[in-house]
């Protein structure tokens, strides 16, 4: 079976005020196709950094990342953007919707960027709006929606082009417990229906336990963990 994500010896550091901080120290990890994997670790441990490297938003300088068997190593910015546009759906903690575009055009964006005809794109948008329970809100603008509704739009946008891989960075971090639970359930159902793989950053034990497996990022290293054994750990 191929891996949706395969990371080898990935090292990354940031330079600030003349000092270098090592964030990822020869990280090895993978996410099998079609599986959901939770990524946990204390605040500042480098989870978002790892997601940005995997998505190609940030260039890999040392080590390697492969997405569905395709190595990012020899791709330029343009090629990485294309790969991301076709194969990855990204859900951010802060929704990241474009406020000058209607809900419909926010969801259609990944299709528009890969040149899909608008008639085809809007038909697909309609399916997704139904799936996330927002049928009829297509012409609204994001600032008219609640946090939970905005996150459902962001989920629709991440799934609209049927990517093989979903990267989600604390998708329920800005929601109250109840909306968070509903949004997670929705995300899980849609990802499963579509057969996509998902790497999901979370600080919630409940969310992490709903994934197929969990990875802990600690001191620059990633290891497979049993979330039940981490009950009282600082990882959350
Ligand atoms: N562009 C940058 N330049 C310098 N340092 C950065 C940059 N981005 C992140 N960092 C630092 O790298 C470390 C890891 O940050 P990152 O955002 O990956 O953590 P995180 O695990 O996602 O944390 P949280 O759970 O709070 O979201 C932090 O110390 C952060 O300050
Ligand atoms: Mg983060």
171 in ligand 1 pocket by Cβ < 6 Å? Answer: no
Assess whether pLDDT exceeds 80 at residue 229: no
CA-nearest residue for atom 13, ligand 1, is: 44
Residue 21 has pLDDT above 70, yes or no: yes
Taking the CA of 222 as reference, the closest ligand is: 1
What residue owns the CA closest to ligand 1's atom 8? 49
How does DSSP assign 19-57, residue by residue? EEEEEEEEEEEEEETT-EEEEE--TTSSHHHHHHHHTTS
- Cα(6) to ligand 1 centroid in Å equals 22
Using a 6 Å cutoff on CB, does residue 78 contact ligand 1? no
133 touches ligand 1 (CB under 6 Å): no
Spatial CA neighbour of 125 closest among 165, 162, 164, 72 = 162
Mean pLDDT along residues 179-194? 89
Q: What is the pTM of this model?
A: 0.92
Query: Smallest Cα–Cα separation from 202: which of 42, 20, 82, 95?
Result: 42
Cβ of 15 below 6 Å from ligand 1: no
**What is the pLDDT at residue 180?**
86
Enumerate the domain spans of the chain: 3-230
Distance of CA 47 from the midpoint of ligand 1 (Å): 8
User: Percentage of residues in the chain with pLDDT exceeding 70?
Assistant: 98
The residue whose C-alpha atom lies closest to atom 1 belonging to ligand 1 is 14
Residue 49 CA: which ligand 1 atom is closest?
A: 18
Can you give the pLDDT at residue 182? 86
Assigned superfamily of 3-230: P-loop containing nucleotide triphosphate hydrolases (3.40.50.300)
Cα dihedral 100/103/105/110 (nearest 10): 110
């Amino acid at each position: 079976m191929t891996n949706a994500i395969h990371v080898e010896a990935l090292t990354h550091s940031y330079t600030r005020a003349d000092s270098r901080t090592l964030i990822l120290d020869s990280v090895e990890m993978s996410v099998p196709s079609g599986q959901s994997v939770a990524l946990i670790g204390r605040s500042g441990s480098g989870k978002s950094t790892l997601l940005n490297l995997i998505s190609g938003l940030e260039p890999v300088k040392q080590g390697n990342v492969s997405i569905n068997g395709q190595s990012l190593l020899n791709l330029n910015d343009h090629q990485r953007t294309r790969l991301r546009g076709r194969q990855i759906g990204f859900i951010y903690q802060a929704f990241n919707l474009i406020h000058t575009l209607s809900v419909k055009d926010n969801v259609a964006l990944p299709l528009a960027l890969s040149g899909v005809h608008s008639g085809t794109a809007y038909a697909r948008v309609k399916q997704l709006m139904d799936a996330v329970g927002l049928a009829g809100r297509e012409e609204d603008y994001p600032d008219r929606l609640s946090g939970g509704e905005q996150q459902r739009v962001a989920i629709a946008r991440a799934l609209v082009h049927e990517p093989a891989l979903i990267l989600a960075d604390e998708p329920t971090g800005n929601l109250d417990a109840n909306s968070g639970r509903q949004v997670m359930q929705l995300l899980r159902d849609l990802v499963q229906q579509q057969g996509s793989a998902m790497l999901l950053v979370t600080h919630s034990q409940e969310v992490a336990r709903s994934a197929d497996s969990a990875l802990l990022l600690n001191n620059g290293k990633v290891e497979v963990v049993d979330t039940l054994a981490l009950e009282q750990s600082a990882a959350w």
